Structure 1
Amino acid sequence: MPTARCQLGIGSRSQLSLGEVRMVAKFVQIAEELRARVRDGQYAEGTVLPRQSELATEFDVNVNTVSAALKLLEREGLVQSRRSQGTVVLPQIPLRKVGMDRYSRRRWESPTGDEDGAPYLDERGWQPAAQSTEISIEPATEEMAGRLEIDEGEDVVRRARVIRDSRGTVTHTLVSYYPYRIARGTLLMSEEQGPAGRGGAFRVLTDLGHEPHTINERLHARLPDGDEAQSLEMGIGEPVVEMRRRTYDGSGVPIEYAIGLHRASRFQWNYTFDVPD
């Protein structure tokens, strides 16, 4: 039996029975051992882990303890439980969102082939393999009217996308809202795969005389609700990073409000910038 690589420190055991302490320590140790095997390549991505009963025998514990260890790894995004398959090791190289550079003008004014619509990279040069897009026209809610500084009930275009990697795994979703008076009759209302044509939505807005000038972006980590987890095809216990973005043109008019949900295990945000005075 492999030696567990993790020692659990308990500040105060007065609230836990000795049996509970041992159980907690054991499932954390098992998770650490399995995590190490993934990092070391013993369990490569796509590998199906041994059955829970086999792991229970190997570690000399009951199945419930193994199940708790696997749930811990699943919340980290290291593995995923799949019906009829078992527990599968997920890809471990995170997608890298390249901070403020992903909004640079060159990306929508003169996009290159490898940049067009794909400002998310990893060491393997990830590109989106498939995107499903749904377009709808709906009256602005009180919240959305405030975000876009329009009248409540005024029509907005809702552009919702689900983005997958080359393996078909959903990495994130993105829902963008535009005033209908701006988006009407443009590629922003096209359901074709991709980000509204070459150069993306920002190129469309620029051509319409609303070149993006200022972006306010907020990131927030949380657990998804059931519908969000289903959309991302992930376990409800894995966290997501919610991105909310409001884009203004040079006149200070809001031209887009976007909400993105990113699987926390699949993304990292990298920022390089000069230190302000």
Structure 2
Amino acid sequence: MMALKYEQIAEWLRRRISDGEIPPGGKLPTGREIATEWGVAMGTVNKAIDTLRDDGLVVSRQGSGHTVIEQAVARPAGHRKRGTSRLSGAAPYRRVGLPERAVPPQPVVDALGLGPGEKALKRVRVLLLDDGSSMSLVIAWFTLAVAEACPKLAEMAPIAEGTTHYVRRCTGRSPVEAEDITRVALATEEEASLLGLERPAAVAVVLHTAFDQDHRALVCEVGVTPAHVFEETDNYPMGQQN
């Protein structure tokens, strides 16, 4: 199915941002320039830019156009329901170490469908609160098939267009469903160190697995959040059905 014109324009701008052609803090082309280049109405251009803004890629300031964000943000693991913005729950973060190939823990092995001793690509980030303290640790695991098709996953730099869009662009695979498993545990020594906790410390652990249209795992994230920060709210209908 061919993407709509505004989606094509949004993808074109994402690629320019990701390739560094439009750097952090840089301005997008004006709406009129984009409309002329693509031969579309301004309404189509505005819809494309709204898509990037909802994804947290650009900010709009009256009188100064649209600017690529300078501070990368990311979301905690899980809760990626359809219709939620990339900015939903997003926060600034810092990378921990370099991405590396390693054998994941057994729950991740099972989620990704790996064989015994099979490695995956590991990326670690810590989301930050407004005061700079740690909010949540997220360890993302990608199969080597995905990692090899998406070389930027092995780099230290943030992926400006967002990991989901980048993986889709490189592989043609998009997340269409997910499974989140949440449990309570005591932080491991490594988790406590990265989150600045004194052991023993209770944490909420979310195992989030995203699957593509063929129900193949795209990524498995392990999110670890201190008990004093973790909060989950769910709204749902009640009452008898007729």
TM over 0.5: yes
CA contact (8 A) 2:136 2:225 kept: yes
Q: Indicate whether 1:192 and 2:157 are aligned.
A: yes
Query: Are residues 203 and 106 of structure 1, via their aligned partners in 2, closer, same or farther at CA, if it must alter by over 3 Å?
Result: farther
Indicate which of 246, 251, 255 corresponds to 2:218.
255
Which residues in structure 2 correspond to 1:221-260 (within 5 Å)? 221-260=184-223
Unmatched runs of 5 consecutive residues or more in structure 1 = 1-95, 122-126
Q: Indicate whether 1:169 and 2:138 are aligned.
A: no
Match of 2:82 in 1: 104
Instruction: Tell me the distance in 2 between the aligned counterparts of 1:156 and 1:98.
Output: 18
Query: Are residues 247 and 234 of structure 1, via their aligned partners in 2, closer, same or farther at CA, if it must alter by over 3 Å?
Result: same
Give the secondary-structure state (helix, strand or coil) at the position aligned to 2:176. strand
Q: Indicate whether 1:270 and 2:239 are aligned.
A: no
Give the secondary-structure state (helix, strand or coil) at the position aligned to 1:227. helix
Match of 1:5 in 2: none
Partner deviation per Cα, 1:165-193 (whole Å, 9 max, x = no partner): 23220111111111111122433223124
Give the residue type in structure 2 aligned to 1:228: E
Match of 1:18 in 2: none
Instruction: Tell me the distance in 2 between the aligned counterparts of 1:179 and 1:229.
Output: 26
Match of 2:114 in 1: 150
Give the residue type in structure 2 aligned to 1:225: T
Of residues 150-159 and 161-170 in structure 1, the stretch that sits farther from structure 2 once superposed is 150-159
Instruction: Tell me the distance in 2 between the aligned counterparts of 1:212 and 1:171.
Output: 25
Unmatched runs of 5 consecutive residues or more in structure 2 = 1-74
Q: Cα offset for 1:162?
A: 1.7
Instruction: Tell me the distance in 1 between the aligned counterparts of 2:104 and 2:183.
Output: 24
- Identity of aligned pairs, percent? 15
Partner deviation per Cα, 1:128-171 (whole Å, 9 max, x = no partner): 2x412430013567654432113334441111112222322011
Instruction: Tell me the distance in 2 between the aligned counterparts of 1:154 and 1:237.
Output: 31
Match of 2:31 in 1: none
CA contact (8 A) 1:98 1:269 kept: no
Instruction: Tell me the distance in 1 between the aligned counterparts of 2:105 and 2:186.
Output: 25
Partner deviation per Cα, 1:95-146 (whole Å, 9 max, x = no partner): x97984x443563xxx5xxx2xxx327xxxxx32x41243001356765443
Q: Indicate whether 1:206 and 2:168 are aligned.
A: yes
Query: Are residues 210 and 272 of structure 1, via their aligned partners in 2, closer, same or farther at CA, if it must alter by over 3 Å?
Result: farther
Instruction: Tell me the distance in 1 between the aligned counterparts of 2:224 and 2:76.
Output: 13
- Calculate the aligned-residue CA RMSD, in Å: 3.1
- For the pair shown, the structure with the greater C-alpha radius of gyration is 1
Which residues in structure 2 correspond to 1:114-153 (within 5 Å)? 115=87, 119-120=88-89, 127-128=91-92, 130-133=93-96, 134-139=98-103, 144-153=108-117
Which residues in structure 2 correspond to 1:84-99 (within 5 Å)? none
Query: Are residues 105 and 186 of structure 1, via their aligned partners in 2, closer, same or farther at CA, if it must alter by over 3 Å?
Result: farther
Q: Cα offset for 1:253?
A: 0.7
Instruction: Tell me the distance in 1 between the aligned counterparts of 2:78 and 2:219.
Output: 19
Query: Are residues 139 and 236 of structure 1, via their aligned partners in 2, closer, same or farther at CA, if it must alter by over 3 Å?
Result: closer
Query: Are residues 189 and 270 of structure 1, via their aligned partners in 2, closer, same or farther at CA, if it must alter by over 3 Å?
Result: farther
Query: Are residues 137 and 225 of structure 1, via their aligned partners in 2, closer, same or farther at CA, if it must alter by over 3 Å?
Result: closer
